[in-house]
Structure 1
C-alpha cells in the first residue's frame, strides 16, 4: 500500500473553552491526519518543518507510534504555534498563529513532491502553505492527492485551490466550508467530498450525488481540535483498502469520537543536557 504523505503543519497548540477545558498539547493537521491514518493501518508521514523545540523529541515521543517521520524537515527557531478558542459547541471562534519554522513548509513540500511523485498525498490547505504552488506541482507530476481546509483561512484557500479540485480524489470540509466550496466551484464536478457537521450527520458526495450519511457516535468531548483531521486520515486509510464510502465514513466518525474524548497529546519534554 502506498504511503500517505501529509503536507501540513505540526505545532504546539493551546486551546481554550468557556468551561475551562483545554491547555497546551501537540497539534497540527499533518500530525493528526498522519496519526489517524497510521492507527487505521496505513503508513503515513507528515511532510512538515519542525523547529528546534520539536525536532529532537517527536520521533521518539510516546503515543505517536507508527508515524513515519522521514519526510520531516528541520529549521532553526520554534515550531508553529496555534492559540485556538472554541465555544461550548466546539465551534472555533478565534485562532492566533506564529508560524515559526513552518514558514519554510512550501519550499520543503515542493522538493518532497519532486523527489516522490508516486506517493499518495494529502494537502492541508492552510497558511503558511502556498497551496497554489503545491497543488499545481502535484497535478503537473501526476500525483494522487486529497485536500482539506481550516475554517479561519478557508474562504481564501478554497478559492486558491479551486482550479485543481477536480483532480483531487477527496475534498474534506466541514459544513461552513462546504458552503464556501459551493460558491467557489461546481461541486457536482468533484469526485468525492466528505462533509462533517459536528454531532449532525456526516455525508459523502460523489459528482453531486450523496453516497453515504452517518450519524457520529455521541461522546462527551475532551478536546475537539483534530476531530476533522482524524476523520480525514481514517477515511483515507479505509478507502485505500477498498472500503465503500459508507464503511469508511463510519470508521472515520467512530475514530473521531474516540479521539476527541481521549486526553490530548502532550508536548514531549526536551532531553536533559
Structure 2
C-alpha cells in the first residue's frame, strides 16, 4: 500500500477483540453498537492511510463483517472464525465519560491467543499492535514478538489494566509505543520506571494528550472541543491514527495533533451500527 506521499507503508497487524457492545450513560445516551479494540483501531489506521489487519476471532454472529459496507476496506486476511458467539461488552459510563462498570462474555475470543501466536509464527517480521485485554495471554504474545525482534506497540483497557501491565512489564521496554490514559499511566508508573520506555502516549479525556520519550515530554496536543456522544473507542481511534501518521513520516507533534482531532471527531459521531447479515 502507498501512503499519501506515494511511499510504501508496512501493514499494521492489530491483535485484539471485535465485539458487540452495549454502552449506557445516566442521560440515556448509548445503545448497541459494533466495537472491540482490534476493529476500531484498524478502522482508524485505515482511514489515516495505513493498511490495517485485525488479528481476531469472529463468532458466527459476526462472520459477515468482512463483506459489510464500510468494513470491506479492511484487510480481513488474519481473521479466524469459530462456532459460537463473538465477544460482548456491557459498558456503563458516568456523565464525565468515565467507565464505572463492565460486564463481559468473551465467547469465541477465548481462542485469540492460540490464533495470534499462529499468525505471528507465519509473519514474524510484521509490525504489530497488541490490544492488551482479556482473554489474551499477553505474556505469551509479547514474548513471542520480542524474541522474534518484531516491532510492536501496545495499549490497555482500564478494568484489566493493572493485571495486564504487570503481565506485560518485562516486555514493555521493547515496545515502540505504549498508549495509556491518565489512570492507566498511574498504574504503569507503579510497575515500571517511565524512563525505561521508548515512547508513551498519555490521553486524558478532553484535556491535553502528551507524548513522553524515556520519561521526557516531547509533544502535547489539546483535543478540539466536540460534544461527546460516545466515548468508548476514542483511545483506539487515537492510537490507530497516531500509528498510521507516524508510519507515513509525520512528526510526533503532527501525529499527536491529528490523532487527538480524530478521537474528538469520533466521540461526536454516531456509533458504528452492527450490520445485518446480507440475505441470499
TM-score, length-scaled by structure 1: 0.98
**Alignment-derived partner of residue 87 in structure 2:** 80
Q: Partner of 2:60: helix, strand, or coil? A: coil
Give the Cα–Cα distance (whole angstroms) in 2 for the partners of residues 74 and 49 of structure 1.
5
Matched, 1:222 2:229: yes
Task: Report runs of 4+ in structure 1 exceeding 3 Å deviation.
Answer: none
SS in 1 for 2:112: helix
Does the 8 A contact of 1:43 with 1:66 survive in 2? Answer: no
- Residue deviations 1:171-198, cap 9 Å, x none? 0000000000001101111000000000
Q: Which residue of 2 aligns with 1:99?
A: 106
| Stretch moving more, 255-264 or 63-72 | 63-72
- Displacement of 1:63 in angstroms is 2.4
Counterpart position of 2:122:
115
Q: How many Å separate the matches in 2 of 1:254 and 1:61?
A: 26
1:179 aligns with 2:186: yes
CA-to-aligned-CA distance 1:12-68 (integer Å, 9 cap, x gap): 00000000010001000000110000000000010000000001x201112224211
Give 1:270 deviation, angstroms: 2.4
Q: Aligned partners of 2:212, 2:249: CA distance in 1, in Å?
A: 17
1:250 aligns with 2:280: no
2:65 corresponds to: 58
* Counterpart contact for 1:63–1:265, Cα < 8 Å: no
Which of 185, 188, 198 aligns to 1:191? It is 198
Moved more, 256-265 or 121-130: 256-265
Distance 2:47 2:209 in 1: 21
Residue 144 of structure 2 corresponds to residue 137 of structure 1: yes
Is 1:126 equivalent to 2:133 in the alignment? yes
Structure 1: tracts of 5 or more residues without a match: none
In structure 2, stretches of 5+ residues that fail to align are 1-8
Contact 1:131 1:161 in 2 (8 A): yes
Q: How far 1:268 sits from its partner (Å)? A: 1.0
Are 2:31 and 1:15 equivalent residues in the alignment?
no
Q: CA RMSD in A?
A: 0.8
Aligned-partner SS, 1:263: coil
TM-score (norm 2): 0.96
Alignment partner of 1:24: what SS? strand
Q: State the match for 1:33 in structure 2.
A: 41
Change (3 A) 1:235 1:178: same
Tell me how far 1:271 sits from its aligned partner: 3.1
